[in-house]
Structure 1
Amino acid sequence: MKKLYMIWFTCLIGLLITACYDDNGNYDYRKIGEVQIDGLEETYECVAYQDVLHVEPKVTITDGSSDLEYFWTLNLTPGSSTTSEKIKIELDTIGRERVLDYPITEKAGAYDLTLWAKNKANGATSIETVSLSVVTPFSEGFYLLKEINGGTDLDLHLKDGSYVMDILEAKDGQPMPGAPVSIGLDPTYSFINAQTEYEITKAVTICTENDVRISNIEDMSVIYTYNTMFLGEIPTGEKPYYIWRNYFGVGYTCDKGIYFSYQAPSYQLLGTGKFGLPVLVNDSEGTKPSFYGVISSGCWFFFDELKGRLLYLDFNGSLHTFKDEDEEGKKQPYPINGIPHKLKYFGINYIAADKETNGYILFEDENNVDKLYIYHMVLSTTNIYNPIKKVIEVDASSKLHEADLFATYESTAKVMYFVANNQIYLYDLEQQVEEPLNPTGMVTGEEITYIKNYYWKEDAVTGDNFDYLVFATHQNGKYKVYMYNILGGKPNGGPVRVLEGDGKVVSMRFVDKDMKIDSTIPAL
């Protein structure tokens, strides 16, 4: 598109010229023809490579003349998650008529759409700027990570009920090899593209049992794989677990350690998106992270199986331990270091009224598999002392002993969900009692493959928020995902949505066009 090089000069002239007059000797002044723009919406939204932006404003001049000149310009909104001071922003002319019909080919992001209307007779100019949100077919909806035909693929179910199936096969000709492990989301991922320029995008991250894929959410193209995501030598023999975003970087965890890539585009800190060496405790001690971990205050909390201790990776990429004693130096009855148990699940819960982030770890006794313990902790990055509040031994009769799928209600009630022998249960973490759940509308006999409390609570514009209890099932090579509203920690009524497709769902992520670096995203 043609660059508008004289735009600031025109603007300056328009601001300086506020009146004109006819000098016929009697000095009879009259007001100039002022330009008025009406009929613009505050915000427009378009799908890239699909929509044509149509805008038809009303433009008037006070003296009734109609000799006007128009310029429509479009540029990335400064300070948006898709821009940085280190990235050049160019002001482009996209139209020269009052009515704008512009095919959207821009990348997903937030843009300023500006109409400049100038009275040719005297140069008086009116300028109106509104917002344009550009999304792609992959910008909003529920991503379902699934196992299909022995490999890993991805389906996207959009909020309007439409869907895009088998995305990886469509891009690559085949699913990713190996069974799926996890899916993550980075609302502001920075990397260096093929033109050796910094680029910022939303990214979907996938870990399989033997590979990793970081994809650009705009077109699902590959940014990095396991073989290209390291700065130096490629590690061998690792089992990938999960890739996630915190405030100032991207974390990657596997069974051999934890990695960190420092970057925060929203704070003008760009990075390559690649990983160096594993992060060490006290610059010397390695770790063996558990698969499950949680994010709190922008930090990643996990259990180190190597030394049986709780650690957290802070938002600057440093690893921290906790002391076994309390603030007065008194040893606590349950040490946070040297825990001789096997972790089965790590969940999180935040009660706004308490202003506490609760962590719940389900441990299996290392010496007696018939014994289970639930460690209740308060997770804080400002506390270096023992965070354990209490430890509960699970009753021998509890179905938790037979469970293989777990989740917590992350945002309200202190409850855990689990699946044992294909039956869903609710476990009250305060009262230590459980009850079976039989959600309305679920088909009996389907294998339950995934359970999760999933929510989005940051849509301030349309209020299109949700808080669901989600169950995925599998039968005869096909999946169903049931989504329920929650009341008192339990499914309320029938499913709000049921998603269907081929394969077996093992995890999911929701993406919204307005997600930012500090958006609250459910844990792994």
Structure 2
Amino acid sequence: MKKLYFLAAGLFSILAFACTKDKSTSADRPLPTFTVSGLQASYSVLTHKDTLRIHPTVQDENRYEYYWTAFDANYTIGKGNRKPDTLAKTKDLDYAMILNPGPYVLVFNLKDKETGVTKLLNVNMTVSTLNMNGWYLLKDNNGKTDFDFIHSLGRIDNWIAFYNDGKSLEGTAVKAVFTNTFKMSLTSLDIFSAFTVLSDKDAAIYRIDNGKAMRTFDDMFFSKPPVRKPQSVYQPVNTNVIGVVNDGQVYVMQKGTLFASLPYNAAKLSSITAVGAMSLAFDQDSKSLVIINDFNFQAVPASGAELKNMNADLVWLNSYAGQRGIAMALFRKPDGSGLLYRLNVQFGFLLGTQQPMIQAKVTVPATHSLMAATAIGGNYDADFVYYAQGNKVYMTDLITLQEALQVTLPAGETVTGIQHIKYPQPSAGVPVTTDFLSVATYNNGRYKVYLHKISSTGTIQALAQPNFEGEGKINTVIYMENGSGSRVF
């Protein structure tokens, strides 16, 4: 929108709107007179939803050949003119809108059959999208991974397939993250928001405003991994990069390039990652927590030494990046008991210049329900842990480990995911607009998502009905507002 003021000096300097005045070609001969009515000064439409209908009245209409074109106003002076999109070759325009969102100049072209002179009438057109606000529910269904998108005017089920010729991502859903400031090359000025989506068989990066796949597993690596086994994706605090774990190996992309393996990549990482001031992962071979500082591995500092060679497996890891700067980690020891840690994941504590990294630790008995949970989630604001067994959701805390039943869901429903949806990520002076504990369940081929308000003491109350329902099984919930998505907590 803000680039519209370039029109007069740039690509569209040849165009000006008028009803009876024209800017025409073949200026070496007298210009025919003409009269056109029925055009508005501007149009606003939703892409992939609206049909643009314009039926102008043209005096002596049989005298002309017609076509409609749209010029993208998002261009850069000095980069040359962009080829317009031809929308129709008829006088009446009935165009099912599929253009990318943005500002355009819509041009009605009339070619005089006798003289060959083409007359141009232009109006401003704004193409908007529903995709920038709402709830994205990553799911798998019948061996396919896709989103159901819930917005203010309704929903788009199988959002990926809707925008990609009916093609969802093959395989069972693994994870999705909101990926901001993405671009296709280092020099590109076309910067957009995206989702990076993994299934157990494939991976892709989807542009949010138009839903299109921009990268796939086959073209997102400098050197494609020999084994296709996507396991995790994480968006570091440094938004210039993004990381994925495939077959135990980590690959990092500087946005505008491709994913590259790290210089030293001998670790065999688990599928569990988290993001603090640096990113966190777990090496299954050495049973050690490892730190990924963009393009380099880093050992945990001395104050976190007991997180190396642990003789324990990582069960759950959740980090609260930004203002809080805390991570919670649960490990299972060979005897079935657990270790629950509270870690400071601010930069100085991960680097070792501040300490201690380990702020608290408690042993969880093997008989505690947390150690047999089917889903675990955290709380951005406090050291509460939510977990599920079957259709029951419990809460505990790092100090007492007391098990407090929160809700019992309808019989037959199994909890598949628990997340704290807090948007935007808390920051000084920035108000939070959305704050829920999301509980996703599955039963007989269908999902339900419950959005619970969280009390000041961390508790939640049962809801009379779910907020969302649909086909498949939910893996990840992402809230989107004004083109920016929530982190997974």
Q: When the two structures are superposed, what TM-score results if normalisation uses the length of structure 2?
A: 0.70
Match of 2:301 in 1: 323
Match of 1:182 in 2: 175
Counterpart of 2:475 in 1: which secondary structure?
Answer: strand
Q: 2:470 aligns with which of 490, 493, 501?
A: 501
For the Cα contact (< 8 Å) 2:290–2:297, is it kept in 1? yes
Q: Shift of residue 134 of structure 1?
A: 6.4
Superimposed CA distance per residue, residues 384-426 of structure 1 (whole angstroms, 9 cap, x where no aligned partner): 336122321103431112112111012x121001112332110
For the Cα contact (< 8 Å) 1:484–1:495, is it kept in 2? no
Match of 1:306 in 2: 285
Change in Cα spacing, 1:85 to 1:253, as seen in structure 2 (3 Å) is farther
Match of 1:450 in 2: 417
Q: Shift of residue 342 of structure 1?
A: 0.5
Q: CA RMSD in A?
A: 4.0
Q: Shift of residue 46 of structure 1?
A: 6.9
Match of 1:275 in 2: 259
CA distance in 2, matches of 1:134, 1:425: 46
Does residue 407 (structure 1) correspond to residue 372 (structure 2)? The answer is no
Match of 2:58 in 1: none
Q: 2:317 aligns with which of 337, 343, 346?
A: 346
Change in Cα spacing, 1:463 to 1:134, as seen in structure 2 (3 Å) is farther
Change in Cα spacing, 1:133 to 1:253, as seen in structure 2 (3 Å) is farther
Q: 1:251 aligns with which of 240, 243, 246?
A: 243
Does residue 511 (structure 1) correspond to residue 489 (structure 2)? The answer is no
Counterpart of 1:445 in structure 2: which amino acid?
Answer: G
Match of 1:209 in 2: 200
Matched pairs, number: 397
Does residue 480 (structure 1) correspond to residue 448 (structure 2)? The answer is yes
CA distance in 2, matches of 1:85, 1:338: 57
Change in Cα spacing, 1:143 to 1:466, as seen in structure 2 (3 Å) is same
CA distance in 2, matches of 1:86, 1:306: 54
Q: Shift of residue 74 of structure 1?
A: 9.6
CA distance in 1, matches of 2:206, 2:286: 34
Q: Structure 1: state its 5+ residue gaps.
A: 10-43, 54-72, 77-82, 93-102, 114-131, 264-270, 327-331
Q: Shift of residue 167 of structure 1?
A: 2.5
Match of 1:231 in 2: 222
Q: Shift of residue 86 of structure 1?
A: 11
CA distance in 2, matches of 1:86, 1:322: 49
Q: Shift of residue 168 of structure 1?
A: 3.2
CA distance in 2, matches of 1:462, 1:387: 27
Does residue 361 (structure 1) correspond to residue 329 (structure 2)? The answer is yes
Change in Cα spacing, 1:356 to 1:218, as seen in structure 2 (3 Å) is closer
Counterpart of 1:423 in structure 2: which amino acid?
Answer: K
Does residue 5 (structure 1) correspond to residue 9 (structure 2)? The answer is yes
Q: 1:165 aligns with which of 157, 167, 177?
A: 157
For the Cα contact (< 8 Å) 1:191–1:198, is it kept in 2? no
CA distance in 1, matches of 2:139, 2:446: 10
Does residue 382 (structure 1) correspond to residue 348 (structure 2)? The answer is yes
1:70-85 equivalences in 2 (<5 Å): none
Change in Cα spacing, 1:490 to 1:362, as seen in structure 2 (3 Å) is same
Q: Shift of residue 148 of structure 1?
A: 0.9
Does residue 421 (structure 1) correspond to residue 390 (structure 2)? The answer is yes
CA distance in 2, matches of 1:162, 1:503: 18
Counterpart of 1:469 in structure 2: which amino acid?
Answer: L
For the Cα contact (< 8 Å) 1:485–1:496, is it kept in 2? no
Counterpart of 1:231 in 2: which secondary structure?
Answer: coil
CA distance in 2, matches of 1:85, 1:380: 42
For the Cα contact (< 8 Å) 1:415–1:429, is it kept in 2? yes
Change in Cα spacing, 1:4 to 1:489, as seen in structure 2 (3 Å) is same
Change in Cα spacing, 1:490 to 1:496, as seen in structure 2 (3 Å) is farther
Counterpart of 2:268 in structure 1: which amino acid?
Answer: K
CA distance in 1, matches of 2:73, 2:129: 17
Superimposed CA distance per residue, residues 134-185 of structure 1 (whole angstroms, 9 cap, x where no aligned partner): 6423222111111211222221011x25100122343343533221111111
Change in Cα spacing, 1:86 to 1:399, as seen in structure 2 (3 Å) is farther
Q: Shift of residue 84 of structure 1?
A: 9.5
CA distance in 1, matches of 2:297, 2:79: 31
For the Cα contact (< 8 Å) 1:303–1:311, is it kept in 2? yes
For the Cα contact (< 8 Å) 1:459–1:465, is it kept in 2? no
Q: Shift of residue 217 of structure 1?
A: 1.4
Does residue 336 (structure 1) correspond to residue 326 (structure 2)? The answer is no
Counterpart of 2:316 in 1: which secondary structure?
Answer: strand
CA distance in 1, matches of 2:389, 2:461: 21
Identity over aligned pairs, percent: 20
Counterpart of 2:259 in 1: which secondary structure?
Answer: coil
Change in Cα spacing, 1:305 to 1:374, as seen in structure 2 (3 Å) is same
Q: Shift of residue 304 of structure 1?
A: 2.1
Q: Shift of residue 378 of structure 1?
A: 0.9
Does residue 395 (structure 1) correspond to residue 365 (structure 2)? The answer is yes
Counterpart of 2:370 in 1: which secondary structure?
Answer: helix
CA distance in 1, matches of 2:280, 2:479: 22
Counterpart of 1:207 in 2: which secondary structure?
Answer: strand
Q: Shift of residue 306 of structure 1?
A: 2.8
For the Cα contact (< 8 Å) 2:104–2:127, is it kept in 1? no
Change in Cα spacing, 1:46 to 1:147, as seen in structure 2 (3 Å) is same
Counterpart of 2:411 in structure 1: which amino acid?
Answer: T
Change in Cα spacing, 1:485 to 1:372, as seen in structure 2 (3 Å) is same
Q: Shift of residue 483 of structure 1?
A: 0.7
Counterpart of 2:480 in structure 1: which amino acid?
Answer: V
For the Cα contact (< 8 Å) 2:436–2:454, is it kept in 1? yes
Q: When the two structures are superposed, what TM-score results if normalisation uses the length of structure 1?
A: 0.66
Superimposed CA distance per residue, residues 486-522 of structure 1 (whole angstroms, 9 cap, x where no aligned partner): 112122463696111111112221222242xxx7x32
1:117-132 equivalences in 2 (<5 Å): none
For the Cα contact (< 8 Å) 1:482–1:495, is it kept in 2? no
For the Cα contact (< 8 Å) 1:75–1:89, is it kept in 2? no
Does residue 199 (structure 1) correspond to residue 190 (structure 2)? The answer is yes
